[in-house]
Amino acid sequence: MSTGMASKYTLLPEDNRVDVGAAPSQGLIRRVIKVFLCITLGTALAIGVHNFQTVLSAVDGPSATQDEPGAVSRCPTNIPLAASPPVPVNLWTPLTVSETYNISSWLSAPDRNLNLTRGDRAGLADNFIYLIEAYPPSKTAALAYLDQTANSSVSPPDRYARVTLHEGAAREPVVRDYLVGPLPVGEDTTMRPLTEIYHRPDIPYNARGYTVPFSELSPLLLRIMTPLAEATQELFGGVALGHANDTLVAAAIGPYSFDGTWRRAWLPLRRNVPGQWLHPVGFFLYVDFSGTDTSNWSLLKIVYNHQIFDSTDSFLEAFHNGTLRRLPKRPDQEPHHSLLLPPSSAPPGRPIPSSAPPSLEWSTRVRPRTAPRDLSELPGPRQISTGGARFRLDRATQYISWMGWAMYLGFGRDMGMSLWDIRFLGTRLIYELAPQEAIAQYAGNDPMQTSTAWLDRFFGMGSAVRDLLPGYDCPADATYLPATTHGHAGSLTRRRAICVFEHDTARPISRHTGYAPGEFGAVKGYVLIVRSISTVGNYDYLQRTVVFDYIFHLDGTIEVRLSASGYLQAGYWEPAQEGYGAAIRETTMGSLHDHVINYKVDLDVVGLRNTLLATRTAQEERTAPWFDDDWGSTFVQQKITREYITSEDDARLVYPENLQGIYALVNIEEENSWGMPRGYAIHPGYSPVHNTVVGSKRLLRNANWAKYNMAVSLRKDTEPSSSSMWNLNLPGAPPVDFDQFFDGENITQADLVAWVNVGTHHLTQAEDSPNTRTNLAAFFITPLNYFDADMSMDALNAVLLSPPDNPGGPWGVDEYGVNMGHCVPAAIPPLEYSGVLGFDVDGKPAAAATSEQLRREAEMYHRIKIEL
């Protein structure tokens, strides 16, 4: 870490040569500055200059052993050196915009007979392309290409695309997947239904993906809300009439169907203000929007203050005749209400958004009106690389290598970034490492919270990836990579979708203090981090914002870490909500919920033949003849038991009580030098949870993986994922039924995949306002007798200390020739955020979107503003 300021030093020229003859006397300059500093010492102390001796030392500059004392070079560029991929084609790279356009054009040709409407102009009753994305090759074909030798040249497998069509013009509207290829489009290109990866032949139209929720539901909402305007204005101080300045918005709570026979949702109303998720008004509409004929869509019921009405007329009758039991006033929504210090205490220049009156600032990220903390006006520490970037990158293939690690990156609409062909020290460890699904199931005493069970793959965590903020989401000098996703209205490219950087954990990966030769030393805990962040509605998976981290350690360990932050899906706080959350303001609550996120880990431990090993510890009581009467002959200790699990039916697993054991994939035909089967273990890290609620109809069969901590099944190309984008809306008949993966097959010495869960039981609290802090969940993929010893011991960023020859003398220090270096880092440019690059369905650059358009696309069903 370096917090030094460049102005303290003389910079060497870029080529590190010094023109000594032209340089003034550095010693004279230092003496003059010292005299000046001594004269002003009293004044400096009075105004609070800290560590004055440090300032004097800094003026002295570095050690006089340099060619020119005090002269410091600029830090090397942090641009990574070129990597050398094992093969020149990344088999999992996303489609380009031009490839997507060519596929769309081919599908739209008259001889396809698909009767397609452009996705950006299509209505519910049209046929249109909903999604186009790359479809991965079979593992067998991929390995044949990846593992080719100099004597056996193998071409890359043919490239295919998965295409999802909304066939709304059909007699029985339906959603279907197709496989299109080979690519690029040519005479040999064909299409066929893609059904082998699903447990049902097609997708009911009532379970379809979202297109434009605000325009889809606007006509129905306008019919409902117009006659209610007088009541909502009096009860909540707001209306939703399709005007630009509407003060109420709606949301649609999922799932929207059970088995696809209908499409219905609860729509809570919220205030149309910044942080609208924290401003529910306690008014709920239950609507039916089944089928494609919007004239048949209808209001089924209204719920307000635990009163149920079957129509707007019955609600208005109670409103006008005085029988309506009204909610009490909400002080946290009143004008000028604030728990913050008065404006006079605010630091100068603090921006206040015009859209958020003081009464509502508590739900925004604007800095509170509080006095700054001591020294908080100073910049915090900054990590720099004094030797330049130590990882390599091939941008064309998005291939990364670092300290023996190597991998390709992939990216998709559903779940974002994935990692492929992960190797350590030249040997493949993991074929695929990727998130599969993220659920959030809520609890409460109102129609919204009790019916919420989100599966975020539906919304597209890849298309919800946001540009990273240098210096906040990742170090300012991290390397940033783009990602492109394709939807019904065109393509989106995020130029900073992924960041890659090396990180000093500031703790050793191993150390020991010893006094015999070779005992005392430490290895620095450097890691490589590959990161992306998705924002789905109200959370950031880092509003469900989520940070996806893949962290590579020097000893052969991979840490898979997930951090979630953002806005709560808040409810109306009242005594009836006790036990289902906590008050975060006078009448606003954070609701109890679980987050569980599933990952696919396709481990290949010394090849494809692996077995599931369960290692557990338990207490035993024994006697031993060497103990005599002082302690007695009986003693109690723990003992290891090892068991190979041979059937898939026994491979849906919950971690042992007290975490007394681990699960691992081992190759029983391959041993290390000490006769132990070589393997990799999956260790629980932060928050090793599974879903609390079992049996809910809203998660009946569509997220069965969440009942366990992990599961292991035979790896099959026909079982590529534990979920699908339509599972949200089909809990009773899901396209991917995870339990059907487990049909009693033998899993001894076979190609296996582990499905691993992390998450959190979110017991909400006041500190979750305005945003939840980035809570962590993680698991570790770590060597288990895979090597003969700790592999991090070969790291050069280490130290070995030797005892002094004479008492009181200095200890010998050997840092293996690595000098930590000393340089002045480049200036950090001002933070810029340019948003997204858009392309229309013709592949042409789209006009820049307004912030309101970006908000509509990002918040989807989470914020539905009526539009005329």
> In this structure, what token pair is assigned to residue 180?
């299109």
Residue found under tokens 């659920």: 439
How many angstroms from the chain centroid is the CA of residue 540?
A: 7
Residues near 650 by beta carbon (within 8 Å), at least 6 away in sequence: none
- For 699, other C-beta atoms within 10 Å of its C-beta total 22
Please list the alpha-helical segments (H only) found in 420-528: 447-451
Token pair belonging to 24: 């003034």
Query: CB neighbours (10 Å) of residue 646?
Result: 15
Question: Where are the extended beta strands (E) located within 425-478?
Answer: 427-442, 453-455
68, exposed or middle or buried, with CB in 10 Å at 0-12, 13-18, 19+? middle
Instruction: Name the amino acid, one letter, at 297.
Output: W
Task: For CA atoms 41, 47, 53, 56, give the dihedral sign.
Answer: negative
533 and 520 Cβ atoms separated by less than 8 Å = no
3-state secondary structure of 80: coil
How is residue 639 annotated by DSSP? Answer: E
DSSP 34-71: HHHHHHTHHHHHHTT---HHHHHHHHH-S-TTSSSTTE
- Pairing mode, if any, of strands 677-684 and 652-653? unpaired
Cβ atoms of 172 and 189 closer than 8 Å: no
Query: Is 539 an active-site residue?
Result: yes
- Side chain identity at residue 858, one-letter code: A
Q: Are 836 and 463 in contact (CB under 8 A)?
A: no
Phi, then psi, of 46 in degrees rounded to 5: -65, -35
Nearest one of 752, 756, 680 to 716, comparing CA atoms: 752
Which of these, 552, 439, 600, 547, lies nearest to 775 by C-alpha position?
Answer: 547
DSSP code for 846? P
Cα dihedral sign for 562, 563, 567, 572? positive
Tell me how many helices (H) and strands (E) the chain has: 10, 40
Cβ-proximal residues to 789 (8 Å cutoff; 6+ apart), any chain: none
Among 120, 138, 139, 140, residue whose Cα is nearest residue 130? 120
> Which residues, in sequence order, are CB contacts of 33 under 8 Å at separation 6+?
59
Q: Active site includes 414?
A: no
Alpha-helical regions (H) of 356-452: 447-451
Q: Is 558 helix (H, G, I), strand (E, B) or coil?
A: strand
Question: Considering 177, 456, 751, 768, which one is annotated as catalytic?
Answer: 456
Rounded Cα gap, residues 208 and 211, in angstroms: 9
The token duo for 448 is: 């919204």
Among candidate residues 256, 539, 567, 655, the one labeled active-site is 539
What is the C-alpha radius of gyration for the chain, rounded to an integer number of angstroms?
A: 31
Cβ–Cβ contacts within 10 Å for residue 566, how many? Answer: 23
Q: Cβ(738)–Cβ(722) under 8 Å? A: yes
Rounded distance between C-alpha atoms, residue 84 and residue 80, angstroms = 12
Contact 304, 283 (CB under 8 A): yes
Locate 165 and state its tokens.
Answer: 């069509």
DSSP assignment of 653-720 equals: E-PPGGG-EEEEEEEEEEE-TTSPEEEEEEEE-S-----S--S-GGGSSTTGGGGSSEEEEE--TT--
Distance CA 681, CA 557 (A): 10
* Catalytic residue ranges: 456, 539
